[in-house]
Every structure is written in structure tokens, then in C-alpha cells.
Structure 1
Amino acid sequence: MIPIYEPLIDSSESSMVAKCVESGWISSRSPMVADFEKSFLQYLCAEPESGLAVSSGSAALLLALKTLGIGRGHEVLVPSMTFSATVSMILLAGATPRFMDVDPKTWVITPEILEKALSAKTRCVIAVHLYGNMPDMEGIMKIVSSKGILLIEDAAEAHGSSFGRRKAGTFGDAGIFSFFGNKIITTGEGGFTVFRNPSATATARMMRNHGTAGQGDYSSRHIGLSCRMTGMQAALGLAQLEKMDEIISRKNTIAAAYEKNLLAQTRLSLQKFTPGWSGIPWLTSLLLPHECASEREKIISRMGENGIQIYTTFTALHTLKPFQQARGTGSLDVSESIGLRGISLPSGPSLTTDMVDHICETLMKFT
């Protein structure tokens, strides 16, 4: 079976994790956690000490919301086309999500969509970098900056992406990443939060640790969480960061192979990328023809029978029961259409161009 995603892991990860275990420092107090934080911030070209590693991408987002003071009575604008964790964390923070639609070609918000969605109650915007693609961050920044609105980047799927000369996750008041096993680099489970304001980072460090300053301190300054990254996760992450350039190069080759196979035909519509964006797609994703939408599950099953694992895209969240109390800011038809017609193709860095050719040939037989 060709899996939807498989991380690039070899003996270097095994050696680094073994080194952590042999040191005896396997918990969040391992020096490797600080080493990983420093290395990832250097990769982002972010300020030293401006971010921290946590236990998951979801924890990273909840920590960002709570640290920035987002909670009851605050409206947070968020696209309906995103993974459920984005909106779940808004609700867990006590805030009120309001859904925006996305662009039909890029599948992300635009400055025009955001401008129309704003209300007097809007306190924060979450810009989701869907499948690695980023919105027009310069346009988004102009709007939020002029109105004093907080901006959080959900860059869970956007390691290796940039807009202009700045890396994903470094535009907003906060940016978050996921290191789950199917992400571009992985720590098994894990996440990262980057802040613009150094004082926010210091607060988040305490909130990550039950609201305390750390080892031996039992005087909580904040209502906190326990969402620390372990030394073993950090060890895996350090080895993965050494491979980042190789992973990006491999995934660029894979993305180019998909484009070569699929751009020329008209029935399948690949997700397009925002002008000014550079990087790699996390998962190569596309829309099936309208007439094939009702057959999507059957197509996925047939691909599986042929040894190829494909997924549906995310479901538009406003259509799901847990999130139906959240109002939209207008029509959400584009998000709904992507949720009904979209599929994601195998995109792991170990794919070969021959495998991509086979995937595309098989897909076109069934569509």
C-alpha cells in the first residue's frame, strides 16, 4: 500500500532518541527540548526565545489563544475549511468562532474575504495555511494592524512555506505548528508556538507548566496546562530538522511530478497557490468533477483496492454538529464544495516519481 504520508525516518532518529534515553533525561526537563526550540526558531529566522515546544499542535493553538487573552466575549474569525482542532481550541478557550469562506482556487482566505467578515466584535483572526498554502499575508497584516485585531497563524501544515521573504508562523502575534507523525517534520506528537512579543513567550512558558516558573516552583501565577514536549520527542525533532532541506527537496520533486501529470487535464482541479507563496504542499490535494462528488467514497475504495491510500479533504466545519452554533459571515459555499469534492493524494517524502505516475494513472481510470 502506498500510504497517504510516511515520515522520512532512519538510523539518525534512532541514534538521537537513544542518546536521549541513555542520558536519563527523557522528560520535558531534558536539555534536548531547549536545543530543539533553539534550532526550530533558527530555522524560522525568528528571534531567540520567541517560541516554545509543546505536546501537540492543538495544545500550541490553545496556549496561543489563552496567552493572548482570547476568551469569553471575544469573536474569532476562522475559515470553515480547516481541521476541526482549529475551531475546537477557540471553543475550549471560551471564545466565539465565526466562519469565513475561502478562495475557490487557493482554498485559503483572502484580504477581501477578511475585510467583509470583520465586525465590531472581532478580536482575533486565525489565518490557516491549508495544506501548506498561505494566504496573502501582507494584505492580511495590513487589515489587522490598522484595526488593532490580533492575528494567529495556523501553520500546522506549513513547515517550509514562506510568503515573500518571511517564513510561515512569523507574521502574526502568534504562529503555531504541529509535529504529528504525518507532518512535514515530526516528533511523533508535538507542537510549537511562536510569539511576536517576548513577554507573551514568558507567560506561555509558565502556562505550559501548570502556570509555574518550573522545577521546584509550586506557586502558580496563571491557570495553566500540562502540555510540555518530552526529551525523546525533542530528540526525534532534532534529527528531523537535520533532514529539513532534504525533505523539502524531495517533496518539491513529488509536487512537480503531480503537476506534470494533472495540470494538463481539465477534469481534476489541483489546489492553486497564492501569488507570493513559496514552499511545498503538505498534501497534494484536488477537486473531483462535480459529477464524481457522489462517487468520492467509491473512488477512494477503488484506489485502496489498487494499493493507493487517498483521503478526503477536511469537511467544512460549519456543516458538522459540534460547530453548528458558530455563525458564518456570509456564504460558505466554496468551503462546502471543497469538503464534498476534495481528495488528498499520497505526499510522503519517500515517494518516487514512478509512484506518482502510477497514482495519477490509476486515479484517472476512476474519475
Structure 2
Amino acid sequence: MKIPVSQPFLDEEETKYVLSALGDGAISGLYGQYIDKFEEDFSHYSGCAYGIATNSGTSALHLALASLGIGHADEILVSSFTNMATFFAVLYQGAKPIPIDIEPDTWNINPALIEEKINEKTKAILAVHIYGHPVDMDPILKIAKKYGLYVVEDCAEAHGALYKGIKVGSLGDVGCFSFYANKIITTGEGGMVTTNNAEIADKVRSLKSLAFGTNNKFMHTDIGFGYRMANIQAAIGCAQLKKIDEIIDKKRKIAHYYDENLRDISGLRLPVEKNYAKNVYWMYNIVLQEGFNFPREFVMKKLTRDGIETREAFIPYNMQEIFIQKGWVREDECPVANYVAKNGFYIPSSPLLGKNELDYIISKIKDIRKGDGINGF
């Protein structure tokens, strides 16, 4: 038995849409019906007036920051515990990312630690809805209003997640999504910027497509980027969006099944769902604590031998050697993020998983905790 950490949820619907795009001969990011349709449908789904499709979640973040005028000497407050694409986007603009430690239960940015990091150089808070659980946005928005800061939401892992009944990506000034192959819905590669601000939307739309001029296309209005999503990718996105609620429902049921069967095992910290949140459980991350008796590397190796793929938790910004060596950050700045990074790992949570596979995974974790099958391993 081989059980992958994640698999895309694809069927004949994607094939139908792709063949339609191919039949039209419109496969680039400049022409074809599906770019506009995907942007309109996804922005509507996310509760936003505007959606701008991009070629990745990273480029969506970059465009969001660029559209806000973020640049050299600016500081952006970012959850330390995230995919490094979040930090790279800040660095692309020449700005300085300031890592903020995380909450020990949600693994999201800790709002209580933000104000002490704000100074005259601070321009924005970049809130990452990690693993599909929404950030506690009310205190973030309150702080942003108090200091005149932008709020950018990194929703790469949180399509459809709700904060107090409101879709993520519509709460701040700009939302950024990823449609990489392992995301809630996928276009293979791709991203989306969402906003309710027409000026920001126009700026993002221009920048993503080389900032072509309006009167003379080749008289450019800014330093633009080649960040367009292809029409054929958008076609896949349109098909995926039709089943997003089904995918989220399956992901949530899988997470709840894990919760029911793993919560009594000593030494495991499982994902949470706060009363203000609807968690879409992009990944089911487990953090080993005192009492489990075996280190993460051993557990992952044993599960791999049993045919169960696992993946380490993200390594935070303050633990990345490249940034430590440059003197930009100290490793000990974010102790909670460090602990999760060193002790966390994902187990499979694809919507394609059935009860037999889930029971097998659960049984193997329980066996490790009991020490069964450990001798000679």
C-alpha cells in the first residue's frame, strides 16, 4: 500500500473543459473565455468584487505587494511559520520581512506580538492562514487601522475557509491564493489576487501582464511582470471550482475522523478549529510533544516504510540558514514556530482517501506509540 500525502481531485469535468480550451485554440494568458470566467467565478466565491488570475501563488503575493507600493526601506510583518514564498515576495520588492511568532494551537501569526514590532517603516501585515485555519483577523484589522497599515492575506492554503462566517481573502486589502497541484483546488500551477478595491485590481492586472500601455501597447506604463495564467489552466480552475465545496467537505470529514481516533494518544498535538473559524484542513499537521516517546524523524521513517507518505512542517524564516548568515534574523526569535517546525509533520489527507486507508494510517501511528513493530527497525 502506498498512500500519498496529497492528490488532486480530478475527473472527466477537467478533461471536458481543457478540450474545450484546446478546441478554441486559446491556450495563452491573453486570449480565451476561461480566464475571465475563472476570475469572475472565483472572486464571487471568495466574496470579492475583483479577481486577477496569475501563474502562481508566489506571483500573486508579489503583485499584491507591488500594487500597494511596497518597496525599499519598508518593513512587512509576517508570520514566521509559512512557506518561504511568502517571505520571498516581500524580498522581491526590496522590503524587509519582520518575522512574528505564532500561536501554539492554530500555528497562525500571534496578534498579541504584532504591535511591539511596529515602527515608522512598517507598511503592512501579511497574515498567513496556515494549513487552512483562518488567522484571528479582528485584532489584525484593528491594529492595521490604528497604525495605517495595509493587510495582505496569504490564502494559498485556505480556499473557502471562513472567519466569523466571512471568506478569507475578502477581509484585508488584498487576498492571495495558490492553485498549485496540492492545493484545495488546482490549476497545476497558478494563483489569484482578490480585492474589493478597484484601483488595486487595475494595478495588479496591469503589472501581471508587462504593464502594457493603453494607447500604444508597447509604450509600457510601469515595470511589469510576465505573471499571466494560461487560458488552459483557467479551464481546469473552472472545473475545479464546481467541486470545491465537495472537496472541502471531504477534507473536513477526514480531519474529524483523524481527530476522533488520534486525540487520546499521549504526546500528539492535532490541528484545531477555533470557534471563530471554519478550517478547511489543507494539510493535517501533527506536532509531537513530550510523552510520545519517539522523535519525528523516526516516526516519519517508520510510516514511510509502512507505505504512508509524510512531509515535514515548514521551516520558518528565522531558521533559514540563508537569512541567518546574512544577519537578517536570529534563529531564536520565534520559539513557538521553531518547535512546530522541528516536531511537526503531515499525514495523508487527500479527499480521495477512503475509510480503509484512514484506518490503516491511524493504526500505524498507534502501533508506533505503543512500540509495536519497533524492534529491529
Give the structure-1-normalised TM-score. 0.95
Is the CA contact 1:98–1:329 (under 8 Å) kept in the aligned structure 2? no
1:51 counterpart SS class = strand
Q: Distance in 2 between matches of 1:364 and 1:288?
A: 13
Q: Which residue of 2 aligns with 1:350?
A: 352
Q: Distance in 2 between matches of 1:219 and 1:36?
A: 29
The root-mean-square deviation of aligned C-alpha atoms, in Å, is 1.8
Q: Which residue of 1 aligns with 2:8?
A: 7
Report the AA paired with residue 199 of structure 2.
Answer: S
**Structure 1 residue 31 and structure 2 residue 33: aligned?**
yes
Is the CA contact 1:98–1:326 (under 8 Å) kept in the aligned structure 2? no
Q: Distance in 2 between matches of 1:125 and 1:146?
A: 12
Q: Which moved more, 1:277-286 or 1:31-40?
A: 277-286
1:259 counterpart SS class = helix
Counterpart mapping for 1:1-367 below 5 A: 1-28=2-29, 29-47=31-49, 50-213=50-213, 217-290=217-290, 295-324=295-324, 325-327=327-329, 331-367=333-369
Q: Distance in 1 between matches of 2:242 and 2:213?
A: 31
User: Structure 1 residues 213, 237: closer, same or farther in 2, change over 3 A?
Assistant: farther
Give a deviation string over 1:95-126, Cα, whole Å, max 9, x none. 00111100111111232122233233211110
2:114 counterpart SS class = helix
User: Structure 1 residues 145, 230: closer, same or farther in 2, change over 3 A?
Assistant: same
Structure 1 residue 292, shift from structure 2 partner? 6.3
Q: Which moved more, 1:19-28 or 1:211-220?
A: 211-220
Is the CA contact 1:176–1:191 (under 8 Å) kept in the aligned structure 2? yes
Structure 1 segments unaligned to the other structure (5+ residues): none
Identity %: 34
Is the CA contact 2:59–2:191 (under 8 Å) kept in the aligned structure 1? yes
Q: Distance in 1 between matches of 2:154 and 2:192?
A: 11
Q: Distance in 2 between matches of 1:101 and 1:279?
A: 20
Structure 1 residue 78, shift from structure 2 partner? 0.7
Q: Distance in 1 between matches of 2:267 and 2:154?
A: 31
Report the AA paired with residue 155 of structure 1.
Answer: C
2:123 counterpart SS class = strand
Q: Which moved more, 1:349-358 or 1:291-300?
A: 291-300
Q: Distance in 2 between matches of 1:99 and 1:294?
A: 30
Give a deviation string over 1:173-230, Cα, whole Å, max 9, x none. 1110000000000000000011232111111111011111579711111100001000
Q: Distance in 2 between matches of 1:115 and 1:357?
A: 45
User: Structure 1 residues 294, 120: closer, same or farther in 2, change over 3 A?
Assistant: farther
Report the AA paired with residue 32 of structure 1.
Answer: Y
Structure 2 segments unaligned to the other structure (5+ residues): 370-377
Q: Distance in 1 between matches of 2:44 and 2:142?
A: 26
User: Structure 1 residues 363, 294: closer, same or farther in 2, change over 3 A?
Assistant: closer
Structure 1 residue 291, shift from structure 2 partner? 6.9
1:257 counterpart SS class = helix
Give a deviation string over 1:40-70, Cα, whole Å, max 9, x none. 01111211xx220000000000000111101
Q: Distance in 2 between matches of 1:329 and 1:286?
A: 22
User: Structure 1 residues 366, 205: closer, same or farther in 2, change over 3 A?
Assistant: same
Report the AA paired with residue 26 of structure 1.
Answer: I
Give the structure-2-normalised TM-score. 0.93
Is the CA contact 1:87–1:97 (under 8 Å) kept in the aligned structure 2? yes
